Structure 1
């Protein structure tokens, strides 16, 4: 009898487990169907459009400085759409991990966000190519960050092959590139102003571009996950770390590295795309798209401001903790510049086939950097004789008023670019 009741209980439990599994499976099927349901144009005008709730995959959490301008952007879109658009946020990889953001946006797992094509270099070869050319040219730190962001934005807006690869992948890029990391530099335990001081040292690097930068400087490149860098610094596995100011501050690297040479101007990170799922975009009426484009210019301005404020905070905090902002001597400057000249030449010789005239494109980026340098320094308050963040802080440098920047971005970049897009 006891054995019979035991077998009966086991059978009931098995049925319950199978029923539960079936429910989970059916829920997953329904969710998948909902996620991938094709969107049709909901109306000819915003007034006639049915409400839409869009999913946003945010790389960081809700309290991060990078997230705040995105939330402000989507809040303005909600307001200006009269509530027809609603945005539902999924933070810090809760919907899609960072390495799958680009494919996830194209597949419709979410509708809007910041994505990283660098994780799929074969699929986005033009993005990989353009990222190799994010070469700094200014010693004034705020002028360099702003010039890189806006020249890169305008350059990629006119780089048809770049946009086409994203469209082919199901992504409508409203900002096809917006680099706000600032130049990469070298944070070391000891002075790093000359090549002789770097000889024999080991530096953590983030990828192939920066491996070559390290080798050019006579460093031994070390590949480590960023989560292991702090301990590697502490234990002596590495002597230096290569990267940007905000990341150094956010990860606590100033606890161990006390000499930060950003003035050498190593290649910045520029493989940063902000966009909508293409099917979602195609479902918007034209007057809603015009609102989105207008607000994208404001988003770019606010994102640049947030990045510079974060970098200034990191600079001030690091200086208070004893960090020295070094600058390269003549020998190092010459070595870095020669390497970057070779990178530009190689980009012309080995560009993806999709880039119709690589020599012209490389020259166009140089021209756009000169254009934005002049606009920013002469008209928008980004000028000043500063050689580093340390110099900027020591001289009491202040960030400019960002309010006039939206109109400039709209006129110079967003309006011409939007006229060429679906």
Structure 2
């Protein structure tokens, strides 16, 4: 398959006509009843790779914000804290809204006939492509001002692992005993928004941003 970019509004016709074989869609699009008529299989793609993170899981993308370092350093500590606390709450709100979207999608799949599939084999292919092509390309094409791109990738993965450790106790794994892998994923999507202590989440993010 060859990846192509399409407007979200063109997904239905693209799938209907066979122009595209599948789509990578946000929860808001995946929950469309019209799209579910044509796309009857759902798989969670593991987009970020780490030797420690072996589970099949999807990712969420939020907005990134940057402030000139000199400008940031010119702010009084009280102003910095306002930014930090507001950013932590914003991230929590975005994450919760995203998880609620996935929960809505997963809850409708029984009625719509959409079936979650075990993504293990898919993610093995993605992992190989990430390591052999995508990560290598990131290093090779790093901005001139970035002296150690490999170190930045390592730091990112370290943060990823740390956050997995923080989140590991949020959902009772015994809830999913006896389910096959695909059903575990579907049920965890449904449970996720109410399984997280969002006040604790904001506290953890605030501490991270304050470092």
**TM-score higher than 0.5:** yes
Q: TM-score range by the shorter chain?
A: 0.7 to 0.9
| Structure 2 SS opposite 1:410 | helix
**Distance in 1 between residues matched to 2:27 and 2:196, nearest whole Å:** 19
Q: Deviations over 1:234-268 (max 9, x none)?
A: 23332321233333225842121000121x42465
More strand by share: 1
Contact 1:376 1:383 in 2 (8 A): no
**Distance in 1 between residues matched to 2:125 and 2:162, nearest whole Å:** 26
More helix by share: 2
Contact 1:233 1:240 in 2 (8 A): yes
- Alignment counterpart, residue 10 of structure 2, candidates 209, 228, 233: 228
| Distance apart, 1:357 and its partner CA | 0.9
**Partner of residue 203, structure 2:** 407
- Is 1:319 aligned with 2:110? yes
**Cα gap change, 1:225 to 1:298, in 2 (>3 Å):** closer
| Structure 2 SS opposite 1:406 | helix
TM value normalised by structure 1: 0.39
- Alignment counterpart, residue 173 of structure 2, candidates 381, 384, 387: 384
How does 1:188-203 map onto structure 2 within 5 Å?
none
Superposition RMSD on alpha carbons, in Å?
3.3
**Partner of residue 296, structure 1:** 87
**Partner of residue 125, structure 2:** 335
Gaps of 5+ in 1: 1-218, 417-422
**Partner of residue 243, structure 1:** 25
**Cα gap change, 1:230 to 1:288, in 2 (>3 Å):** same
| Distance apart, 1:270 and its partner CA | 4.3
Contact 1:248 1:254 in 2 (8 A): yes
- Is 1:287 aligned with 2:78? yes
| Distance apart, 1:382 and its partner CA | 4.3
Q: Deviations over 1:363-390 (max 9, x none)?
A: 1111111111111113xx14637645x4
**Partner of residue 82, structure 1:** none
Contact 2:62 2:91 in 1 (8 A): no
| Structure 1 SS opposite 2:160 | helix
- Alignment counterpart, residue 305 of structure 1, candidates 90, 96, 106: 96
**Cα gap change, 1:255 to 1:383, in 2 (>3 Å):** same
